[in-house]
Structures are given as C-alpha cells and as structure tokens.
Amino acid sequence: MKKKSWSKNLSKEIDAHVSFCIQIGFAKPQKLNAKILSNNFLIHQHMRKILLFSFLIVGIISCQPGGDDPVADPTVLINRDAESLSTRLSLEGTGVVGIISSDVINGRLKEDEEPAGKVPLIMVSQVNPPIYEGKILKATHVDIADGFAYVSYNTEGAEFLGAIEIFDVTDPLFPKITSQAIFMNADINSLTYKEGKLYAAAAFDIDREEGIKTPAQLVMVSVVDGNFTSDFFKFDIEGFAGVDVSATENNIAVASGSNGLVGLFDTKGEMKAEFPMADLRSVKYGNGVLGALSGTNGITILDPASLNVVSTINLDRDIAESKRTLDMGPGFLLASEGRKGVGVYSIESGMLMQRLEIPLNPEGVAEGDIVTNAVSFDDGKVYMANGGAGISVSQLVENDVLEEIGILGIYGSSNFIKSHRGYIFVASGSQGLQILSLTDKEELALDPGIVCGIYPAYEGNANLNVNSNEVIEYSGAASLKNVNIGGQLTFCGSLAIENSLNLNSGGIFMMNGSFVFGQYNRNNTLSINSGAVLKVSGSVVMYGDLNLNSGATIEFVGEANSLTIFGRVQKGQDVVIKGDFIDTENKLK
C-alpha cells in the first residue's frame, strides 16, 4: 500500500508539472500517463531511484511540446534549417558605409571638401526577402534583444501571408537565420521581445483561420536560443488589423488599425484595459509612459498600467494607412510624420522641441515616396527611414539638441529602421533587409604594444594624406574615404576607410582598436608597398582587396588579435606576416 500511495502522489506531481508548463506557454496539452509509467517501473528492484529519474526526464520533456516540433498549427510552417535559410544572406554591397553630408549632396560643398565622418559603420549583410509559393514577403518590423533579431513580414494586397524570422547576430560579421515561421492566413505587422517570448501584432483572414473572433490578433510564442519553443497562441483584439506592439514594464500594449484601439494585455494574453482610438499607427513605451500615434488624432500619452490619458499632442492629419512609428529618447518622444520628417516632442510638456526634416529630395523619386516612414533612437543617434530619400542620421549633442550628420550611403528605399546596441536593420520592402553594424570600439587592449597617448580626434578632410616627413597621431572614431601614408600614422580607437589605403615605401600605419576597410567586390584596394609596415593591435576587417607587394610587412602586436578578409589577396615575394592573430577566413596563413 505504501508503494502504491507513493506512486500515486508522484503521478499527481507530474500532472501538476505539465499543467504548469501549459500555463506559462512552454507547452501545449499532451497526454502523459504518468501512472502507467510509474506502474511499469514498480517491477524493478530499485523502483524509487528509477522513478525519481523518470520524474526528472518527464519534467524536462513535458516543457518541450510535441517533441521536435512544438507547433501544432497546420497553418504555421516552421523551418529550422539555418543553413538553407541563411543562403538568402549575401555579401553583395557589404563593407564600409559612409555617411554623406547633405551639404555635399545638395551642392553646398564640393566632394573633395567633405569632412571626415565620426561614425564608423559597416554593412555586414544583404538579406533577400523570403518567398512562399512564388509570393515575395516584405519586412515590416524588427526587434533586437540578447544577440537575436526578430523580423516580421507581410504581403502587399488583399492576400494574408506573413512570417516571423529569427536572426542570430551574436557574431556581428556573420549573422545567420536560425528559424522561420510562415503564416498562411496572416500578415505579421509588428513584434516585440520580452523575457523569452515574442509578441506580434497581426491581421488574420477570419474566414480561413479557425478559433478567432476578430481579424486583429495578438500572437504570442516562446523562443529560446533562436528557436520557437511553443505553439503560437492568438488573442482577439477589436479591429481589422494589429499594426504595432510594445512591451511595458508589466504588460503588452497592442495597437489595432483604423477602427481599433490600444489594448493592454498581461503576459498570459488576458486583456486588462483598452482605449479606443481611430486610425492607430504605432504604440511605444518609454520614460514611464505609453505613446499612441493616430493618423487623425495625433499623439496620446497614456498611463501604461491603466491606459488613462496623461496628455495629448496635436499633429497634422496624415496620409491614410501609411507606415508610421514612434520611439523614445531621454525625456522626449520621436514621431515619424511623413513629408514633415520627424517631430521631437517633450514628454513632460508636449511641446515641439525640434523638427528633423528630410535632408534629401532626390531626382526621379515620386513625391509620395519621399516620406519618413519610421524613426529609431539608440545611443544618442536618431535614424530616419525616409522612403526613396534613404536613411538620414542625427546626433544628440549639448542641450538636448539633435544635429544632422548626413545620409547613409546605401541603396534602395527604406520603409522601416531599427537600431539597437550597435546593430541597425533597414527594411526595404520587397527588396529585403540590410544589416549594418557600428564598429565604434571604446575599449583598447591593456598591453597593446602600440602606445596610445592623449591624442586629438581627427577633425580633417575625408581624404587624409600623411607625407613622408610627418608623424601624426589621432584617437577616437572616424570614417574616411581615402588615406595615403608616406610617413607615420598612429590611430587609437575605431577607424573605417571606404575606398583606398596606400602605404608607400617606408610608410608606417599603427592601428590600436578596430579597423575596417573597403567594400566587397568594388575594386577597393589596400596596398602595402616594399618597406612599408601595417602594425595592428585589435581587429581588422577587410571587405576590399589586399595587395602585399614584395617586402611588405604586417605585424600583429599583443594578444587576441583578429583578421577577417572577405576580398582578394595578392602577395609578392619576401612578404613578412608576424605576430599572434586569428585569420578567420584563412586568407593569409
């Protein structure tokens, strides 16, 4: 009797554990007959030990729903083949990205008068859009957290077809797609990550999707290490389409479309509060408040716990059903406002602090495509996705003023942008994604072998020439076009050179920090001539070509150095390569 009672209690404990997994969203209901399992083990001599072990195993398996495939919904197609998914990533167009001054573009400065950039930036990958049954999906939104990027997709027109993809970006130079979920009956318009779960704002085909009452839906799924680990749970919200979603401290805020509302859900999918609002475009949490953007009613600042109105900001009526977003900075809110660019508003007073206009009006682009679709703020920089007018960048300077830096030198229209901790994702609709990375490196090696004193920042021209009798030292971050070295140049910090670097005979270039050169397959060449020395402590990435003439020297000093060469390498005779370094692409060793 004692053994039976113990077995029965164990069965209850296992059932309770499975129930807990279902409640937290890590499993769907499964038929686990723990009593049969335990009775089978009763015949063994060491019943207690085996049953304890089986309890642990069942506890682990029960939180892995459906075995290898946790998604039971037949209308959601899962692909975990990272190798095949990542074939859509390409090196074409990658490399150093210049930020072009609007003064140069608009003819106020000659190209050879352009000052050096202060934001060393590289494009690490072009990503072709996913295609399902011949239909091209377009990226709609991106969220980035803990080394992973989450991308949502929808389809233009009346058809409902969308996707969510997970990108592993833990290695900035080598992103990869780890998982994909295709939604056969839904557009996925926005998403956000919070504490192991993805929350997506979606629009479903209510005539084809079973078990829902409204087209607008909040979709919830658990994710671990770049994989979907639960089924996709759907929750009704009034409206024709879920258009945006933002995580608050304790809840999830969802915006539904033209006749919808802001809905506040807890992390289990129960709606806690709602606020009706016409023509909703975006919601964003930050600075302890929730901002909601309407195309007709402007911005409403809401209490994130109750959705009570805190204040309102009047805006001009916007183009119907157009993409717009909000973001937050310290004490201010940024709103993309179409042809008017970005408005920067004080959260406390609601007053307009500054307007960031679209700095470029390119020829041959329709006026309706020169609009700010999205805005993103990160680490003191504001990035504006201006449709056919590209991506413009501003920097937060003294007295909370944003100062325009210029326009990113990348191709294609932009309908969304997300920046986070040095990563920048640009969505270009049916043209796919562009993944960029800031190479600004603040920390230098403790014992680099290259002395870095209190050197000034480089404030000169984008084209730098160091004569044979000169010894020059700089520090900080810089992005240059062309560099020619006949004397000695020391740079401590982060340096990007876009087009050419030439070390003449006897020239010495000492680099401590992060150095990036060239663009892939664009005939950019880094040439080291006879008797010239490139001396490095840190990391070197070359998207352009490397030409080592006879008698050239590359020396790595200190430890933990790395070299990545995506371009071609030509080596003459008597070339010296020495020091401790990792050659990631095996181009020199």
The residues that bridge with 283 in the sheet, in sequence order, are 292
- In order, the DSSP letters of 205-222 are -TTTSTT-SSSEEEEEEE
Give the pLDDT score at 105: 74
Mean pLDDT (whole number) for 198-203: 98
- By the 10 Å C-beta count (0-12 exposed, 13-18 middle, 19+ buried), 202 is classed as buried
When mean pLDDT is compared across 27-41, 194-208, 278-292, 396-410, the lowest value belongs to 27-41
Q: What is the pLDDT of residues 209-258, one digit of tens each?
A: 999 999 999 999 999 999 999 999 999 999 999 999 999 999 999 999 87
Distance of CA 437 to the CA centre of its chain: 9
- pLDDT at residue 258 in the model: 75
Assign 383 a pLDDT band (cuts: 50, 70, 90): very high
CA distance 466 to 479: 16
Q: What radius of gyration do the chain's Cα atoms show?
A: 28
H/E element, 60 = helix 47-61
Give the per-residue pLDDT at 16.
Answer: 40
Q: Please answer whether residues 253 and 304 qualify as being in contact, where contact means their C-beta atoms are separated by less than 8 angstroms.
A: yes
Residue ranges of domains in the chain: 2-61, 463-583
Residues 560 and 584 sit within 8 Å (Cβ to Cβ): no
Mean pLDDT estimate for the chain: 87
Give pLDDT, residue 323: 86
Q: CA nearest 324: which of 263, 372, 289?
A: 372
| Helical (H) or strand (E) element with 9 | helix 2-23
Q: CA nearest 137: which of 430, 413, 428, 415?
A: 430
E strand or H helix that includes residue 406? strand 402-408
Task: Give percent above pLDDT 70 in the chain.
Answer: 87
CA angle 183, 91, 81 (to 5 degrees): 35
Read off the DSSP letter of residue 85: H
Per-position b or e across 444-466, b if 16+ CB within 10 A of its CB: bbeebbbebeebeebeeebbbeb
pLDDT score at 387: 94
In 3D, which of 330, 326, 334 has the Cα closest to residue 355? Answer: 334
Alpha-carbon span 153 to 182, nearest angstrom: 9
| Count of beta carbons in the 10 Å neighbourhood of residue 274 | 17
Q: Are the C-beta atoms of 429 and 336 separated by less than 8 Å?
A: no
Q: Give dist(CA 437, CA 137) in Å, integer.
A: 24
Element of type H or E holding 188: strand 186-194
Q: Write down the pLDDT at residue 442.
A: 57
Do β-strands 533-542 and 553-565 pair in parallel, antiparallel, or remain unpaired? parallel
251 close to 271: Cβ distance less than 8 angstroms: no
Q: Would the pLDDT of 116 be above 80?
A: yes
Per-residue pLDDT reduced to its tens digit, 435-469: 999 987 655 555 567 888 899 999 999 999 999 99
- Residue 400 pLDDT > 90: no
0.75 surpassed by pTM: yes
Q: Across-strand partners of 548?
A: 528, 571
Question: What is the dihedral sign for C-alpha 41, 42, 43, 49?
Answer: positive
Instruction: List Cα–Cα distances, 411 to 65, 109, 387, 391, in angstroms.
Output: 43, 22, 11, 10
CB 242 within 8 A of CB 235: no
More confident position, 3 or 418: 418
Contact predicate 385/372, CB 8 Å: yes
- Percentages of the chain per state (helix, strand, coil), in multiples of 5: 10, 50, 40
List the alpha helices (DSSP H) in 269-425.
Answer: none
Phi, psi of 19 (to 5 degrees): -60, -40
What's the whole-number mean pLDDT along residues 391-404?
92
3-state secondary structure of 421: coil
**Residue 339 has which token pair?**
């042809």
- Residue 228's pLDDT is 97
18 or 512, which is more confident? 512
Distance (Å, whole) CA 120 – CA 97: 8
The reported pLDDT for the residue numbered 110 is 78
CA atoms of 416 and 414, how far apart (whole Å): 6
Q: How confident is the model at residue 68 (pLDDT cuts 50, 70, 90)?
A: low
Q: If you write DSSP's letter for every residue of 122-152 in order, what string do you get?
A: EEEEEEPPPEETTEEPEEEEEEEETTEEEEE
Burial class (CB in 10 A: 0-12, 13-18, 19+), 354: middle
